[in-house]
Every structure is written in structure tokens, then in C-alpha cells.
Amino acid sequence: MSAPASNLTINADRLWSTIIETARFGGTDKGGVRRLTLSEEDRQVRDWFRAACEAAGCTVTVDGLGNMFALRPGKDMTKPPLGIGSHLDTQPTGGKFDGVLGVMAALEVVRTLNDAGIETDAPLCICNWTNEEGSRFAPAMMGSAGYVADLPVADILARTDAEGVSVGTALDAIGYRGPEEVGAQKLSGFLELHIEQGPILEAEGLPIGVVEHGQGIIWYDGRITGFESHTGSTPMHLRKDALATLSEIVLAIEALAKAHGPNAVGSVGEAVIARPSRNVIPGEIAFSGEFRTPDAGILDALDKALQDKVKEIAARRKVDVRLDTIWRKEPTHFDPVMTGAIAAAADRLGLPHRPIVSGAGHDSFHLATLVPTAMIFVPCKDGVSHNELESAKPDDCAAGTNVLLHAVLAVAGG
């Protein structure tokens, strides 16, 4: 006997305990998670995920980039499955919810359907995408980039981390270079639940965001070569100070983002001084930077303005600055049928919602280039993410998962 799908709700306690249980893989003293992609901790959570999906009746496959697919059969196996999920890797000092919520919510949807004896028309496929974060290997959203052929698989496998370890070697080291061809697991669409990672929903007291757009992103790698010399004896006008140069570039990125409207953001997240010493003028610095905006034209304008500004700063300071664009992701526009299914599911559950733009990057941005895709956001405390303090309320996680469940039933056919 199957329960009426219209009244179905997920098991909120079970969802919460899976989030807390998996946070122990790479759990930090401050209550966060350090689970860099393809690390030993990543292997542990992947093993847990595989076992949990198999216990829920799914067949798990792994492709050549370590992307994991847990297939739950449907009534019509000629239909490609509807994908649901997110990522299990975290930032070096990340939280318990970024990515994990979307994967655990997808598992909870399958468990709920199992308990209720409901078989969807189309099969479902829980996805765990490799290296969404991009903090060990650049760029971010790497596994899904390979899946949609945005980057060649061989190129991805050859990317290296700061220690020179390649993605291919790291996959082999944890036993997650799977036999499936990348892209072979077809999907008919993709739905991802995620914390907002920003302050809007919390400030407006809304439990659900229907993500309609995703920001375009440019990532830069930079290197400044000035000249190391004595801090005490080198007159100010003869210095070639790499750190002072970087300071100007950081402020230029900030000023350009501010000048290009409320939705543009820009930052320098990393800077490493070679051979740092209190009494040596920094002569060499490596840094990374980025711009994000939902408007492709503004992304072009920011890029050109920064390149021009960097040339001007380098010439004036007589230092050499290299600024390489290592990644560009165009803005994403999610599928109206999928966003409509999410809004309708929230309405049916009596959950207030609003349309929202994603500031963070997500695998759904790549999936959206291939199949109808959309995302659900739930609030997180103070909008804080990429931080061990990241926090979300059990009720909000449950509300988002219920919206996912009903959107899945509408799209996959319950």
C-alpha cells in the first residue's frame, strides 16, 4: 500500500542525524569540517554515502572523475533518471552544511519514498559531484565540468594541487577513479538543495529561496615580481615592492566591484609572499582573485578594467605583474519549469518563498547547460558560509528537503 504522495513529508530527525553523523568525517574542534576533495576524509564520507545509498536500495556507480551516482529504479526504466544531490567535499575550514545538505536531503527523499512505498515514474539518481569547492584543485565545480564536457577529462585529471599531486593520482589514492565513462550516466534534469550562503532569506524571515540565476565567475592567478632589498637602506623611490603593488590591486578589485552595481563582487582570497622576512622588501608574490556578477556584460567590463588597471600599476611601480584568467563561468539561468516546480512545491507545503540569485558557485550551474536544472536555497545563520561557524536550523533543512521531495514527485512523476 503506498501512502498518498500529496501528504508525504520527510523524516526531519533522520535528516538531521545524517548531517551530524557525516560531519564527523573531517570534523574540526571548532565544530566545522575540513574535508578537502579526494582526501582520506573524503574517502571516508564517500564510503559512508555508498553504503547508505545501497542500504536504501540504490545501485551506486562511480565515473572516471570520482563523481558518484546512486540510482533508484523507477516504473519506466527507459526514462533517464532525475538527478538530485550536491557535493561532499568542503573548504579547508568549512562547515557542516555547504554541499552536504543537498546530498543528505537527496538521500532522505529516497528513504522517504521507500518508507511510503512510492515508486516514481522516472528513476532517481543521487549525485555526489567531485571537487565542487576548488580549494585543493582549481577550478571549482570540477567533476560536473567534466560531466557536461565544459573541460576535457584528461585536462582535469592532470590538474595538480599545491603539493604537485594530480587529480588522477589523488583519485587512485582513495580508490575513487571509477570505471564508468564520464557523462555516461544520463540525467533528465537536476535539482539541488543548498544553504543560501548569504544573508537575504534570514533577513526577510523566509524559509525558501527559488534560485533563478547564478552568478558568472572569473578566477585569476597572479604573480608580481618586484625586487627584494633591505627595508632599512632602500630609499622609497627606488623600491620595487611586490606587496605594495598587490595592495593597489586588491583595492582596485574592491573599487571596480563596488562601481559595477549591487550584484557585482570581487576579492583576493590568497596571497603568498615568497621568502618573507620582516626586514626584506617583498620581491615576489603569488595571489589569486575573482569577480562574480549575474551579468555577462558586466563580467567583461570588470575583466577589461582590471587588466588595464594592472598594466597601469605595474608600469608606474616598474614591477612585473602577470594576471592569468584560469577560469570563466558564464552566468546561469535556471529552467523555468524546474523553478516553477519548486515554487509550486513550496506553495503546497505553505512555505513562503522568493526568487533569489546564487552568489556562490554550484554544480547546478554546469548541469543547467545540459538538462533542465534548478536549485532550492534555505537560510543559514548570519549568511555565513565557508567558515567553521556555518550553521542552519533543523527546521529550515527539513523545509527545504520537503520542497525537494515534492518538486521531485512533480518532475519525476509520483
Contact partner, 168, from Mn ion, ligand GLV, none, Cβ < 5-8 Å per class: none
The DSSP 8-state label assigned to residue 81 in this structure reads P
Is residue 32 within the footprint of ligand GLV (CB under 6 A)?
no
Nearest-approach distance from CB 236 to Mn ion, in angstroms: 42
Q: Are 126 and 85 in contact (CB under 8 A)?
A: yes
Is residue 33 within the footprint of ligand GLV (CB under 6 A)?
no
The DSSP 8-state label assigned to residue 1 in this structure reads -
Q: Are 242 and 224 in contact (CB under 8 A)?
A: yes
Distance CA 69, CA 183 (A): 11
Is residue 360 within the footprint of ligand GLV (CB under 6 A)?
yes
Binding mask 123-142 for ligand GLV (x = CB under 6 A): ----------xx-----x--
For ligand GLV, the nearest residue by Cβ is: 361
Nearest-approach distance from CB 310 to ligand GLV, in angstroms: 22
Contact partner, 388, from Mn ion, ligand GLV, none, Cβ < 5-8 Å per class: none
Nearest-approach distance from CB 353 to ligand GLV, in angstroms: 22
Nearest-approach distance from CB 360 to ligand GLV, in angstroms: 4
Q: Which three cell numbers stand for residue 193?
A: 538543495
Dihedral angle of Cα 192, 196, 197, 199, to the nearest 10 degrees: 170
Is residue 41 within the footprint of ligand GLV (CB under 6 A)?
no
CB atoms closer than 10 angstroms to residue 183: 16
* Near ligand GLV in 240-259, by CB under 6 A: none
Q: Which helix (H) or strand (E) holds 368?
A: none
Give the residue with the Cβ less far from ligand GLV, 109 or 360.
Answer: 360
Distance CA 196, CA 124 (A): 24
- Residue the block writes with cell 544553504: 195
Whole-angstrom Cα Rg for the chain: 23
Give the residue with the Cβ less far from Mn ion, 41 or 98.
Answer: 98
CA distances to 16, 73, 111 from 57, in Å = 21, 9, 9
Is residue 375 within the footprint of ligand GLV (CB under 6 A)?
no
89 burial type by CB count under 10 A (0-12 exposed, 13-18 middle, 19+ buried): buried
Give the residue with the Cβ less far from Mn ion, 285 or 367.
Answer: 367
The DSSP 8-state label assigned to residue 237 in this structure reads G
Give the residue with the Cβ less far from ligand GLV, 74 or 147.
Answer: 147
Candidates 222, 361, 372, 379: give the one binding ligand GLV (CB under 6 A): 361
Give the residue with the Cβ less far from Mn ion, 99 or 216.
Answer: 99
Q: Can you give the binding site for Mn ion, defined by CB under 5 A?
A: 98-99, 360-361
User: Total residues contacting ligand GLV (rule CB under 6 A)?
Assistant: 5
Q: What DSSP line would sit under 211-224, residue for residue?
A: EEEE-EEEEEEEEE
Nearest-approach distance from CB 241 to Mn ion, in angstroms: 34
Q: Are 99 and 132 in contact (CB under 8 A)?
A: yes
Is residue 88 within the footprint of ligand GLV (CB under 6 A)?
no
Site residues, ligand GLV (CB under 6 A): 133-134, 140, 360-361
